[in-house]
Every structure is written in C-alpha cells, then in structure tokens.
Amino acid sequence: MGPGVISACAYGICACDTCGSHCRLRTRRVGACPTCGATVYARKPRSLVRAAALLIAAVILYLPANLLPIMHTATAGSAEDDTIMSGVVALWSGGSWPLAVLVFCASIVVPTLKLVALALLIVTTHRRAHWRLRERTELYRLIEWIGRWSMLDVYVLALLVALVQLDAVATIEPGPGAGAFAAVVVLTVLSARAFDPRLMWDRAGS
C-alpha cells in the first residue's frame, strides 16, 4: 500500500472471515455479513494481545515438550523413556536416517521457526515498524500455510512411537512430553489465527 492510497476499511468495507464476502460495516469497527450472518470486524479484536498470550503459552510449553519424554517403552527385560531428540538419535543410529530427518524437521525445526516468526511479527507490529512490510506479510502467509500441515508434527510423533522399539514385543505409552508438544502445535496455530496482518500496515502508517 503506497502513500496516499486509501484502504477499503476507510470506506467502511471489510471482508467476512467466515465466507469471504465483502460487507459494509454498520460502524467503523463492526458489522454483520449479509451472506452468512457472521459478525464482521474491521480488525480482529485485541489481536496483538491474544496472539502474544497464546505465543507465550506455546513458548512455555516448548521446553517440556522437548525435555520431557514423549513415550515410555517397556519390554520384558527393560524400560526406556525417549524424548523427541533421543528418538531422532535412535532412528539415525538404527539406519532410518530419512525418517530421522523427517522427525527432526517436523518436530523441532518447524515448530521453532514458527515460534520465532510469530514473535517477530508480533514485536515489529507492536513497535509500529516500517521494516520490510511486504516481506513480513509474506512471512505471515507462509505461517498460515504451514499451519494447515501442523498436525503432521503429531502424526510424525505417532509414527515415531510405532517405530522406535527395543524389541519386537513392547508396550509403548505416551509420556508427558507428548501432551506438551501437541499443546504447542495447537497454541501456535491459534496464535497465528489471532494475529491480524493488516495491523502491520495500519500501525506503520502505510
């Protein structure tokens, strides 16, 4: 959006988040969609506060998700607890390096990058930064796209539980890290959905 360009919101027109229809707001901030009847806001209410709170909760749970065991494996002769990283190491040592790389990327690299990217978007928007607005918008779109595949992380962990076994016959139970990891995935998705990327342009005065 260049200098002198007036947004549709300034004319009281906004898109419905539910069906995508363009609506005219009753007030400057809120209206009703004539197509689906959903409440339409010019900007998501308390967007930065809600996105930041959800992100902080995800960061807090990220540590136990990686430090606590995600599964407990018991056989006739022994028992073992595995974290995400120890599972990756076990897969690599067992010769399943493609799966080890997949687990490492899906369960460690991607969640970490999502946390960092969301923090960057929230902080720069709060500080009314003009820095790389277009690139930050593209980054948000990338996070939204990754969010559609977020359950892949949980699926990979389920696959890891099925494959990392000490013997042919074993009892495998989820550990506390599995619940924390699933919560991190859900919280990052909710944080991305709570964040309104239009605020980046509003607050930068563009």
Same domain, 36 and 127: no
Contact 124, 136 (CB under 8 A): yes
Distance separating alpha carbons of residues 106 and 101, to the nearest angstrom: 8
Residue 3, pLDDT score: 47
pLDDT of 157 over the 70 cut: no
Question: End-to-end CA distance of the chain, in Å?
Answer: 6
pLDDT-derived band at 166 (thresholds 50, 70, 90) equals: very low
Same domain, 199 and 165: yes
Residue 151, pLDDT score: 62
Same domain, 16 and 51: no
Q: Which amino acid is at 133?
A: L
Long-range contacts of 2-8 (CB under 8 A, 24+ apart): 2/206, 3/206, 7/201
Same domain, 99 and 168: yes
Same domain, 165 and 99: yes
Around Cβ 123, how many Cβ atoms within 10 Å? 12
Same domain, 54 and 26: no
Same domain, 24 and 114: no
Domain total in the chain: 2
pLDDT tens digits along 90-125: 778 877 788 788 878 888 888 899 999 999 999 999
pLDDT-derived band at 61 (thresholds 50, 70, 90) equals: very high
Same domain, 100 and 6: no
* Strand bridging mode 71-74 / 79-82: antiparallel
Same domain, 132 and 185: yes
Burial class (CB in 10 A: 0-12, 13-18, 19+), 58: buried
Q: Which amino acid is at 9?
A: C
Q: Quick check: helix, strand or coil at residue 52? A: helix
In this predicted structure, which of 37-41, 188-192, 201-205 has the lowest mean pLDDT?
201-205
Q: Quick check: helix, strand or coil at residue 20? A: coil
CB-based contacts of 180, cutoff 8 Å, min separation 6: 61, 62, 64, 65, 68
Report H helices in the chain: 47-67, 84-93, 97-104, 110-126, 133-147, 151-163, 176-194, 198-204
Residue 74, pLDDT score: 66
Same domain, 101 and 66: yes
pLDDT-derived band at 199 (thresholds 50, 70, 90) equals: confident
Average pLDDT, whole number, for the chain? 80
Is 30 or 178 the better-scoring residue by pLDDT? 178
Same domain, 116 and 152: yes
Q: Which domain holds residue 174?
A: 46-204
Same domain, 186 and 168: yes
Residue 138, pLDDT score: 93
Q: Which two tokens stand for residue 128?
A: 């009314």
